[in-house]
Amino acid sequence: MSIQGKEDWVIRRASAADAPAVLQVFDEVIAWFVGMGNNAQWGTAPWSALPRRVAQVTDACAMPGAWVVETPEGRVLAALVLGEPMPYVPPASEPEVYVRLLIAARDARARGLGRQLLAFADERARAAGVKRLRVDCYAGGTGDLVRFYEACGYQRISTFDLEGWPGQLLGRRL
């Protein structure tokens, strides 16, 4: 499938083999966060250097609902993983599609990919006959991430604290 406005880019199923490329995207975003003083969201160390994070990303990329956006040159610019809700959020009260992971590179060419991947998640939910999506995110710092999801049609459901990491659970009805 192509990405709207980027006809040569494709969104394709991910696999564990994509984990190094997705970890590179995380590393770039973390470096950007650290540069602006956001040390609390994902820490300051590159995830590619942390065995626990490498395992998490590898496992996520191997999930059936894992997708990556790739340029014609083969560079992964974004990843989306849809699946079961995270264990730290309340269980769903109805069938849903849960956005387990969404990340896009800081590369200027990737601008807008997060929104496009959330629209893709909507398409996947419709195809599955599901009318509800949920996502959780970091709720600390400036709150920009929560506002991003709200701008994409998600509404706040509840907050949570994951060992000092402030989180926000959001949902969207199609």
Burial label for 91, CB within 10 Å (0-12, 13-18, 19+), is exposed
| Spatial CA neighbour of 99 closest among 116, 82, 122 | 82
**C-alpha span between 156 and 159 (Å, rounded):** 8
As beta bridge partners, residue 81 has 66, 101
pLDDT at residue 164 in the model? 92
The tokens describing 117, both together, are: 């991947």
* Local structure of 82: helix, strand or coil: strand
pLDDT of the residue at 90? 92
* pLDDT of residue 2 exceeding 60: no
Q: Is the pLDDT of residue 93 over 80?
A: yes
Separation between Cα atoms, residue 86 and residue 98, nearest integer Å: 8
Decide if 25 contacts 77 (C-beta within 8 A): yes
Question: Would you say domain 2-130 falls under CATH 3.30.479.30?
Answer: no
Separation in Å, CA 5 to CA 58, 87, 110 = 29, 36, 11
Residue 3 has phi, psi (to 5 degrees) of -95, 135
Tens of pLDDT, residue by residue over 7-33, are: 678 899 999 999 999 999 999 999 999
Of the chain, the percentage scoring pLDDT greater than 90 comes to 83
Closest CA to 69 of 81, 55, 86, 84: 81
Confidence of residue 68 (pLDDT cuts 50, 70, 90): very high
Report the predicted TM-score, pTM, of the whole model to 2 decimal places. Answer: 0.93
Q: Where exactly are the structural domains of the chain?
A: 2-130
The H or E element that residue 115 is part of is helix 113-127
